[in-house]
Structure formats: C-alpha cells, structure tokens
Homo-oligomer: A and B are copies of this chain.
Amino acid sequence: MLIPKEVKFFDLFDKQAENLVLSADFYKKIIDEGAFTPENVRAMHEKEHYGDELTHTVINTLNETFITPFDREDIMALANHMDDILDAMYMITNRFALYKITNPSEPSKKLADILARATKSLQKAINTLRNKKSMKETLMQCVEINRLENEADVVRDEAISSLFEKEKDPIAIIKHKELYEEAENAVDFCEHTAAVIESILVKNN
C-alpha cells in the first residue's frame, strides 16, 4: 500500500518519537536525582541537537517530495511540535543548572514523570499512525495525552499556589515559578502534537 517516500516520513517520525522517549527518561532521571552536572546538561543538549537534525531531515525530505502520506502542513507541524518538546526539556535542564538547584521539588518531579509518560503515549500514537487498522489505538493514545496535559495543569497550579503561600524568598519564587510553567509547557507541546495526529486521522478516515 505504501510507497517508499511515505515509509520514509513514518520512519523519521518514529525516530523523532524514540529520541523524545529516551530524552524524557533521561530528563526525568536527572530531575529525580537533582543531577544537573555539566556532563548531564551537555548530554541533554546533544539529544536536543539530534532532534534538530531529525526535524531538518523531515523538512528537507518534504521539500524534495511531491506525494506525501498526509498534508504537508501536518508533516511540518508534527516535526516542529515534537522538536518543541525536546527544546523545552533542554531549556528546563539548563535552567535548573543555572539556578544551581540540586534538590528539585516534588511538583517538578511529578511534572517530569507526566512528561515521560506523555512522550511514551506519543510514541505509541506515532508508531501506529502508519497503519490505518490501528486507528483506534492511535486515538486512545491521543486521549491519554490530553488527560496527562490536564494532570500537568493541576500539578502546576497547585505548585504555584503553594509556592506563593509558603515561600518567602522572592528569588526562589522567580526560579520555581518559571520551572513549573516551562515543565507544563513541555506537556502542552505533547498535546499540540496529539492534536495534529487527531486531525490527520479525521482527514484520512
């Protein structure tokens, strides 16, 4: 059923999704351990850089291809939104290091865990996207990502509420408020990716 170029896009998206899952697991690990060492920040930067390369490859392949498995703008959006997730992970890791935080708070750990789970659902959605028969499975993963995004919203809101209630040091508030918001943003980007997948399913049904 599929022509080679189509396979190419699906293979590239699978690679992006795999890189996302590996990066999110690593990200969760260093947040759990508070290990924002120069080596770990560099390793995260490399993962983000590899993601950039994959995104570039998708866009270049798109520019050289006439027939695509689904709309060109959806291919662009998928590649770019997955890239946004990785950029956010690197940005947050880097800020933890800049802020010299060595004991991330419980909400920060929870948000990293939610993100890791969201990327795993995203990977399943992406992996099943090439097979119309798995459409139900693909959709189920998108629903799960939406659920996780709501979960992240609640965690961030409670974390910010408690931060302003208990923390008296304004500099600590500046740091943690930003880290909570950026962590929730990363999960938002997963939801944006899921929205593109859902729209692809509707169009190609």
A174 within 8 A of B: yes
Complex contact A173–B173 (CB within 8 A): no
A133 within 8 A of B: no
A143 within 8 A of B: no
What's the least CB distance linking A79 to chain B, in Å? 12
Copies in the complex: 3
Chain A residues bordering chain B, tally (CB within 8 A): 22
Complex contact A94–B157 (CB within 8 A): yes
Q: List which A171-200 residues lie within 8 A (CB) of chain B.
A: 171, 173-175, 177, 199
Please measure, in the bound complex, the distance between the C-alpha atom of A100 and the C-alpha atom of B162, giving whole angstroms. Answer: 11
Which residue of the partner chain, among B98, B164, B174, B203, contacts A173 with CB atoms under 8 Å? B174
Q: List which A76-95 residues lie within 8 A (CB) of chain B.
A: 94
Q: List which A144-163 residues lie within 8 A (CB) of chain B.
A: 157, 160-161
Contacts of A177 in B (CB 8 A): 174
**Given the interface contacts A59-B199, A157-B94, does A171 sit within 8 Å of B171 by beta carbon?**
no
A131 within 8 A of B: no
What's the least CB distance linking A55 to chain B, in Å? 10
Please measure, in the bound complex, the distance between the C-alpha atom of A160 and the C-alpha atom of B64, giving whole angstroms. Answer: 41
Footprint of B on A, CB under 8 Å? 59-60, 63-64, 94, 98-100, 157, 160-161, 164-165, 170-171, 173-175, 177, 199, 202-203
24 A-B residue pairs with Cβ-Cβ distance under 8 Å, sorted by A, are A59-B199, A59-B202, A60-B202, A63-B199, A63-B202, A63-B203, A64-B202, A94-B157, A98-B157, A98-B160, A98-B161, A98-B164, A99-B164, A100-B164, A100-B165, A164-B171, A164-B175, A170-B170, A170-B171, A170-B174, A171-B173, A173-B174, A174-B174, A174-B177
Given A98-B160, A98-B161, A100-B164, 4 more contacts at CB 8 Å?
A59-B202, A60-B202, A98-B157, A170-B171
